[in-house]
Structure 1
């Protein structure tokens, strides 16, 4: 093929593909500009929502790649490349990856849901999946808890997001539920006064909601009283232990018996 033939071939290609190539370049630059605007808007939205930093980065990267793939497919289609097979390959690859990483994807989805809806945050005391602990770290795939005896508990986010979660520290106040049983010979009014005095005299028991003392059960060997003080969440366990001790001492001082099993020693005669 002589030089003139090459020139003629090049001219034909330029005539056939030149406008398409120019259009593809224009679409690429305009599409890239639109993607930046979209990502900027999504970033501002995520920042207003105060979402987790790792979640924001991951979502931005995921959306960015998805938009860029769409843009590439559009550009290739503009040039004249058959994109049907290309899209089919992407779909097949996505399906294969999804099946291979089914468990991980479920944990990822659970992590996204936890970070979006925030049923708990770092520092909260929660009970979930039969485990109790303080949230130490929330990651994309797992959540780490620290148990009361300082063990690390790692829970997959998939089952965590789909199960029951009890958050003990989501509110500023908590109610302490105590039960004290006294003997049937005890005066009900005097017992209630002793119990209520313990609540009203404790500096960390809140005035509102008002504490409650009520006779709750006539048991086989005792009269049981429900004692319900409200405290700040951070004061729950200190007040719990202090009331258990001080109330026992107050009942003893008032001569009010807390019944307990007695062992009777039987001696044989002879």
Structure 2
């Protein structure tokens, strides 16, 4: 509305000034073109001001920087689009049909890019609701790693093997999201099988000793160690160590190593699956 009022007042003043020295048909062309240029200039200035205003407002709300940048750019381009349409009207372009054409083109593009738009929508939801954030250790679509980047279309993980995994946001949010950093405590569960004939109290003591070897294992809550079952070829135990989220990847390696070395040092066998075949006499 302000741009329209500005264009009307500007064009009226220019028409009065030029009508006395130029033919009427030239006056309309010059006035329309000059007004269109003024509207564009003012629109660009206002667009920059609106973009900065939106950026400051969203930054104060502590939203993700990627989302802040996207929304501030969107606000700026909406103002620029309004200025362009107003400018075209001043030079005689029928903007109603142009807007309808752009709307139809937008629908066609949306249908063609619906997969990407789904990833985009998922990215916006991640940035707003924050099921995970930068430097969280997560499992997304079967991939575990540290979140290194959250974009509008993809999320980037750095795995324990130092591999960079780029996951489309629609895929990342389409299943269960395991955020090991969210609770503030990482959990490392390990299943251990030992040979039949092993003494259960002795095995439990050895597993406790293995957990105590790992500095990253928290004392509170204490490690959970239990005899949980009679397997086909082994006595089955369960070990659960708690740690800081940042220590989770290293503790997985350290705790497995400590358990294996302690059992080996004590002479306790870790069995492998066996099949016994009896040959019946003919």
Please report how far the alpha carbon of residue 242 of structure 1 lies from its aligned counterpart in structure 2 after TM superposition: 3.2
For 2:65, the equivalent position in structure 1 comes to 52
Q: Deviations over 1:133-166 (max 9, x none)?
A: 4444333333334444444433333333434333
Whether 1:165 aligns to 2:190 is no
- The SS at the match of 1:195 is helix
2:151 matched residue in structure 1: 139
Q: Does 1:225 align with 2:237?
A: yes
The structural deviation recorded for 1:229 is: 1.4
Tell me, what secondary structure is at the counterpart of 1:56? helix
Whole-angstrom CA distance in 2 between matches of 1:261 and 1:103: 46
| CA drift at 1:59 | 1.9
User: Partner of 2:202 in structure 1?
Assistant: 190
Whether the 8 Å CA contact 2:136–2:181 is kept in 1: the answer is: yes
Task: Go from structure 1 to structure 2 and tell me whether the alpha carbon gap of 1:184 and 1:108 turns closer, same or farther (over 3 Å shift).
Answer: closer
Contact 2:140 2:178 survives alignment (8 Å): yes
The residue that corresponds to 1:267 in the other structure is none
Which of 87, 94, 99 aligns to 2:106? It is 94
Give SS of 1:177's match.
strand
Q: TM-score, normalised by structure 2?
A: 0.66
- The verdict on how the C-alpha distance between 1:153 and 1:75 changes in structure 2, with shifts beyond 3 A counting, is same
| Residue 61 (structure 1) shift | 1.9
Name the SS of the counterpart of 2:165 in structure 1: strand
Q: CA 1:180/1:28 → structure 2, altered by over 3 Å: closer, same or farther?
A: closer
The root-mean-square deviation of aligned C-alpha atoms, in Å, is: 4.3
Residue number in structure 2 paired with 1:175: 187
- State the match for 2:14 in structure 1: none
The structural deviation recorded for 1:213 is: 1.1
Distance 1:157 1:192, change over 3 A: closer
Please give the per-residue CA displacement for 1:217-242, whole angstroms capped at 9, x wherever unaligned: 12233221111111222323433333
Query: Aligned residue pairs: how many?
Result: 254
Tell me the TM-score normalised to structure 1 length: 0.68
Task: Look up the match of 1:21.
Answer: none
C-alpha displacement of 1:211: 1.2
Q: Is the 8 A contact 2:55 2:69 kept in 1?
A: no
Partners of 2:46 and 2:217 lie apart in 1 by 58
Q: Distance in 2 between matches of 1:220 and 1:263?
A: 10
**SS across alignment from 1:205:** coil
Instruction: Provide the residue aligned with 2:9 in structure 1.
Output: none
Match of 2:75 in 1: 63
Q: CA deviation at 1:206?
A: 0.5
List per-residue Cα deviations over 1:78-126 (Å, max 9, x = no partner). Answer: 9998764343233223223323433333333333333333333344444
CA distance in 1 between counterparts of 2:158 and 2:214 reads 30
Task: Give the unaligned 5+ runs of structure 1.
Answer: 19-23, 265-270
Q: Does 2:215 correspond to 1:214?
A: no
